[in-house]
């Protein structure tokens, strides 16, 4: 062990404290960053070395490093190690009682306003039909008046749930009763409610690589989450079987972030898994299915299932705007009964105003028109991006995946370099991209000679893409 690490490692962990060891370790490392013992860009000891030195398990160190990476105190270089984030000091404050609190650090991609960010979050808000929305909003203000102030039913306004059911039938061929639909303040909120409904003592399986925030939410709600590796087409079935999970969160329409669509036979296998035990559930996150560019949408797991074991989930954040905070889940009937018995004391978390306005937006066909326009726009952007990539001097080393739907592409690069090399090279050109490894629950070493980059293009104009 290097000498300078020894200085750093005057860390005392108390196994008898009610605070978990990894949290104690996080706290100690934050303190070392705060007092300058650990410098920006300094490499941390490997998990093995630190775990031996502190006499804790490698999992403890790994968990602490990941937690600090999530918090942006550290950053990970796949297959190399963890480093102190250059901006970590901005996070470290010990405020006096009335002092200001450090605001959560904005994601790195928004730091420089002139850079071109292939971000996977957010949508192009310029496309949002604001004048239509504002017109409907004004109508709602005039027409509903007092009705706006009365709370809606716990599941959400019935007219809204009817409109969503009609949309799901027309668009997804799903036969759903409005009583099965729960409207809530975004899928983040709804995931928490699902944990309360299904129970936090279960083990939840999640896709790896996958939607990291989903795992965070499940964990913050007290659930134990196991990241199950993806193969070409979906969750590795054997690993799912062995995981001991009784709930699995999946994105079959357009896997995040790889963009693959789960083939029918794999959907059948997943349904076999869920129906093999009476108390298993699938959470089918159908985000981005509205933005399907090629061929016909496959039926949802919800529609294919005969056993009432699939919970369908979707959001208007990607198709309309994130700031509306409206998502919904379709509960299988028996879970809808359990929700009514156990959780319907909760008031609906979406204000009546948004519910009424969205109802009109759906009823009047505005949503359908908006989707068609968006599909055209995004398909064009995707085509331009693919054309640019194909005309690149190294195009024979590039493989484009996940172009059938959604708002990001996966780019496989066959060059003797790591994702971090590519990210750094892009950064020097003022372009921000993300590497696939950062979507793994535990940073993963990909096969040699193959690096994967995620390109989210929803918020970039054609001009930005071609530059």
The least distance separating a second copy from the CB of residue 137, rounded to whole angstroms, comes to: 6
Closest to a second copy by CB, 118 or 211: 211
Give CA torsion, residues 412, 420, 433, 253, to 10 deg. 50
The least distance separating a second copy from the CB of residue 357, rounded to whole angstroms, comes to: 9
The least distance separating a second copy from the CB of residue 243, rounded to whole angstroms, comes to: 17
Find out whether 304 and 262 touch, Cβ atoms under 8 Å.
no
- How far, in Å, CA of 144 to CA of 258, rounded? 44
The least distance separating a second copy from the CB of residue 223, rounded to whole angstroms, comes to: 9
The least distance separating a second copy from the CB of residue 164, rounded to whole angstroms, comes to: 15
Closest to a second copy by CB, 60 or 418: 60
Closest to a second copy by CB, 342 or 387: 342
* Per-position b or e across 167-196, b if 16+ CB within 10 A of its CB: bbeeebebebebbbbbbbbbbbebbbbbbe
Closest to a second copy by CB, 261 or 354: 354
Closest to a second copy by CB, 99 or 114: 99
Closest to a second copy by CB, 63 or 451: 63
Find out whether 55 and 420 touch, Cβ atoms under 8 Å.
no
Closest to a second copy by CB, 189 or 293: 189
- How far, in Å, CA of 358 to CA of 12, rounded? 54
The rounded radius of gyration (Å) of the Cα atoms in the chain is 24
Give CA torsion, residues 148, 152, 158, 161, to 10 deg. 100
- With tokens 């949002």, the residue in question is 128
Give the length of the chain: 467
The least distance separating a second copy from the CB of residue 244, rounded to whole angstroms, comes to: 12
Find out whether 455 and 401 touch, Cβ atoms under 8 Å.
no
**Could you tell me whether strands 408-413 and 398-401 are parallel, antiparallel, or unpaired per DSSP bridges?**
antiparallel
Beta-bridged to residue 76, according to DSSP, are 82
Which tokens belong to 444? 């993963």
Nearest alpha carbon to residue 319 among 259, 374, 377:
374
**Sign of the alpha-carbon dihedral angle for 355, 357, 359, 362:** negative
- Output the DSSP codes for 338-369: HHHHHTTTSPPSS-HHHHHHHHHHHHTTHHHH
Residue 341: count other Cβ atoms within 10 Å of its Cβ: 8
- With tokens 């999946």, the residue in question is 250
Closest to a second copy by CB, 91 or 413: 91
The least distance separating a second copy from the CB of residue 332, rounded to whole angstroms, comes to: 8
Closest to a second copy by CB, 384 or 458: 458
The least distance separating a second copy from the CB of residue 30, rounded to whole angstroms, comes to: 8
The least distance separating a second copy from the CB of residue 212, rounded to whole angstroms, comes to: 9
**Sign of the alpha-carbon dihedral angle for 331, 335, 337, 341:** negative
- How far, in Å, CA of 400 to CA of 21, rounded? 42
The least distance separating a second copy from the CB of residue 426, rounded to whole angstroms, comes to: 24
Closest to a second copy by CB, 78 or 192: 192
Find out whether 171 and 312 touch, Cβ atoms under 8 Å.
no
């Amino acid at each position: 062990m290097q000498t300078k690490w020894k200085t750093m490692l005057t860390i005392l962990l108390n196994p008898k404290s009610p605070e978990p060891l990894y949290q104690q370790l996080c706290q100690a490392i934050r303190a070392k960053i705060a007092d300058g013992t650990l410098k920006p860009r300094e490499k941390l000891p490997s998990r093995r070395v630190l775990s031996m030195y502190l006499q804790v398990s490698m999992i403890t160190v790994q968990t602490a490093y990941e937690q600090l990476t999530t918090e942006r105190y550290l950053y990970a270089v796949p297959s190399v190690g963890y480093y102190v984030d250059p901006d970590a000091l901005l996070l470290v404050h010990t405020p006096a009682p009335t002092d200001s609190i450090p605001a959560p650090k904005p994601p790195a991609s928004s730091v420089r306003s002139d850079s071109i960010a292939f971000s996977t979050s957010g949508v192009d808000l310029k496309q949002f039909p604001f004048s239509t929305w504002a017109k409907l909003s004004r109508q709602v203000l005039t027409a509903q008046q007092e009705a706006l102030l009365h709370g809606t039913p716990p599941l959400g306004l019935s007219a809204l749930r009817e409109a969503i059911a009609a949309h799901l039938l027309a668009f997804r061929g799903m036969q759903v009763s409005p009583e099965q639909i729960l409207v809530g303040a975004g899928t983040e909120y709804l995931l928490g409610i699902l944990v309360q409904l299904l129970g936090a003592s279960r083990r939840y399986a999640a896709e790896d690589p996958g939607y990291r925030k989903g795992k965070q939410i499940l964990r913050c709600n007290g659930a134990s989450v196991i990241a199950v590796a993806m193969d070409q087409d979906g969750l590795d079935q054997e690993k799912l079987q062995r995981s001991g999970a009784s709930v699995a969160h999946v994105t079959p329409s357009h896997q995040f972030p790889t963009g693959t669509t789960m083939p029918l036979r794999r959907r059948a296998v997943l349904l076999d898994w869920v129906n093999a035990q009476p108390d298993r559930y699938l959470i089918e996150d159908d985000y981005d299915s509205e933005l399907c560019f090629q061929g016909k949408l496959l039926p949802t797991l919800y529609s294919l299932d005969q056993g009432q074991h699939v919970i369908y989930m979707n959001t208007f954040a990607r198709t309309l705007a994130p700031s509306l905070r409206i998502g919904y889940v379709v509960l299988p009937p028996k879970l809808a009964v359990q929700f009514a018995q156990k959780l319907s004391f909760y008031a609906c978390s979406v204000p009546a105003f948004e519910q009424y306005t969205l109802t009109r937006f759906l009823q009047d066909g505005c949503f359908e028109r908006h989707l068609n326009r968006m599909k055209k726009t995004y398909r064009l952007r995707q085509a331009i991006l693919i054309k640019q990539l194909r005309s690149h001097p190294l195009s024979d080393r590039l493989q484009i995946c996940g172009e059938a739907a959604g708002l990001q592409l996966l780019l496989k690069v066959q060059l003797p370099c790591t994702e971090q090399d590519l990210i750094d090279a892009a950064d020097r050109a003022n372009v921000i991209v993300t590497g696939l490894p950062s979507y793994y629950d535990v940073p993963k070493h990909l096969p040699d000679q193959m690096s994967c980059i995620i390109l989210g293009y929803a918020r970039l104009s054609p001009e930005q893409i071609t530059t």
